[in-house]
Every structure is written in structure tokens, then in C-alpha cells.
Chains A and B, each alone.
Chain A
Amino acid sequence: DQQVKQNSPSLSVQEGRISILNCDYTNSMFDYFLWYKKYPAEGPTFLISISSIKDKNEDGRFTVFLNKSAKHLSLHIVPSQPGDSAVYFCAASAGTYKYIFGTGTRLKVLA
């Protein structure tokens, strides 16, 4: 029962363009969402979060959008840089201590 889904295993984007990574969830009780970035041979690193009371949160080049009715969130990176090439995980929590992670999307930013 996969409650958090990232349906695109990979994405390639030209440097300077926008990267959009998507995440869908099924549990309407989820109220807090996180995005993590992971480089090879390293652990995931926290990137940005959003609470269910908001529909947008921005931090520099990174913006997360939440559409509760569609149970969908997306991470926008603009402009994309080669150093953004990594695997991106979304994670969700339902007011508990437990986060459910998606399977990740591998982003490749082409120079």
C-alpha cells in the first residue's frame, strides 16, 4: 500500500530551465510534507517543507506547491543548476512521528 507516489523515476532538464518534480498521495490525513535531496553514497538532505494549511512555500530557487483537493504536491526548481542533479524524495506525515517516503525521482540537469 504505497501512500506516497512519485510516478516519474527520472527527469532530465537543461541548465537554467525549470525542473518540476511531482508527488501524489492517497492519505487525506497527511498534514505535513517534506522534500529531501539525495546524492549518491550520501544520506537524504532536507530541502523544503510545507504544512497542509498552506498551498505554497518558497525558499530561494525552490518552491513547493500543495494541492490538497488533488492530493498532489510538486517541487519547482528554477533556474536548475548542474549541482541540483540528485534523487529527490517527497515524504508525508499524518500528525504522527512517522514519515512515509516516495520512491524518489532522479533529476539530471544537463549543462
Chain B
Amino acid sequence: DTAVSQTPKYLVTQMGNDKSIKCEQNLGHDTMYWYKQDSKKFLKIMFSYNNKELIINETVPNRFSPKSPDKAHLNLHINSLELGDSAVYFCASSQALGLVQFFGPGTRLTVL
């Protein structure tokens, strides 16, 4: 009964490929987020969806596209992967915007 789950946990791929990371929350939350933690350990927000509507869209290359099929899911699709995309990606959810966020376990993406 994991609250926020992500798949896969590890993803190793070649430059130029397209990949997706899936996120699901069973908390009944309205808001979901994607964060990127880079090699310097900065945890930076990328996107936020509230009730399937995009609310926060930070300066992220448009190779990254979030997709929210319903309130419980927020998937992250990445096109034309680059070496600099290697990082740990965390999904999170909160009951509403601005409230405490619950994080998934992270997906470690390695681009070779």
C-alpha cells in the first residue's frame, strides 16, 4: 500500500532514446509534482499538476513532457535523452497546492 510509487526504480539508456517514468499516488491528493535531483544534490521542481492542470512549469527543456491521465497519475516522458539528463527523478503529491508533499522513492536515470 505504497502512497507514492514510481516505476522504474532504475533506468539505464543510451543518448538519443525516448523514455518514460510513471508515477502513481493512492492518497487521494489533488496535486502532483516532478522533481530532479542532480549530481550536486540540488532538488529542483520541474512540474506541478493540480487536478490534471499544469500549474508549475519551470525552465525545463521541452524534451520533457509531463502527462496526467487522471489525478492519481503523473507520468514524465523524456525525448532525445542527453547525458545531462542523468539524475534521480522524484515524483511527489500533496493534498493541495502549497501543502506538505509526499515523495516517491525516486527513479535513477543514467544516460550513457
- Within the complex, the shortest CB–CB distance from A33 to chain B, in Å, comes to 12
Q: Known: A34-B100, A93-B98, A97-B97. Contact between A44 and B90, CB under 8 A?
A: yes
Residues of B close to A42: CB separation below 8 A: 105-106
Once the chains are docked, how many angstroms separate the CA of A34 from the CA of B106? 20
Once the chains are docked, how many angstroms separate the CA of A43 from the CA of B48? 17
Q: Are A46 and B100 touching (Cβ within 8 A)?
A: yes
Could you mark each residue 1-41 of chain B with 1 if its beta carbon is under 8 Å from any beta carbon of chain A, else 0?
Answer: 00010000000000000000000000000010000000011
Q: Are B45 and A98 touching (Cβ within 8 A)?
A: yes
Number of chain B residues whose Cβ lies closer than 8 Å to a Cβ of chain A: 24
Say whether chain B's binding surface is mostly helix, strand, loop, or mixed: strand
Residues of A close to B48: CB separation below 8 A: 97-98
Q: Known: A43-B92, A43-B105. Contact between A101 and B100, CB under 8 A?
A: no
Residues of A close to B55: CB separation below 8 A: 97
Interface size class of A (residues with CB under 8 A): 20 to 34
- Within the complex, the shortest CB–CB distance from B17 to chain A, in Å, comes to 24
Residues of B close to A103: CB separation below 8 A: 40-42
Residues of B close to A69: CB separation below 8 A: none
Q: Is residue B83 contacting chain A, with contact meaning CB distance below 8 A?
A: no
